[in-house]
Every structure is written in C-alpha cells, then in structure tokens.
Amino acid sequence: ATLLAVARSNGRIAPAARALGVHRNTVLYRLRTARAERGLDPRRPEDALRILSDADRRRA
C-alpha cells in the first residue's frame, strides 16, 4: 500500500502519508524497508511505473 501511495503521489512523501493516514516518517521508513527487501523506490520513475502496472494487473 505504501509503495502504491507514493507512486500515485508522484513520489511525494507528504501526500502519500496523508492518503495512508500515517506520519511522513513512517512512509520514509517503509520506503527504506521496501528498497532493502524488493529493490523498488517509487520515487524513481521506472520503479513507479512498475508498481502502478503491477497494481493494475492485480485489479484486472
């Protein structure tokens, strides 16, 4: 959910935190964890595209 929220907010942390209802530091922590575990950073355009594409496929 965090990766998708950041990707949908064009890589901006504060809007993603508001959408998730958490503090911005929580979003930053989750991003660090996601980078370490998955190698994805939704602030990078190519990673954001992959995250959004994967979310669309899961919905279909």
Residue ranges of the domains in the chain? 2-59
Q: pLDDT, tens digit, for every residue of 38-51?
A: 888 888 889 888 88
pTM for the full model?
0.79
pLDDT of residue 20: 97
pLDDT of residue 17: 98
pLDDT of residue 24: 97
Residue type, 4: L
Look at domain 2-59 and name its CATH class.
Answer: mainly alpha
Q: pLDDT, tens digit, for every residue of 12-36?
A: 999 999 999 999 999 999 999 988 9
pLDDT of residue 21: 98
Tell me, letter by letter, the H, E, C secondary structure of the chain. CHHHHHHHCCCCHHHHHHHHCCCHHHHHHHHHHHHHHHCCCCCCHHHHHHHHHHHHHHHC
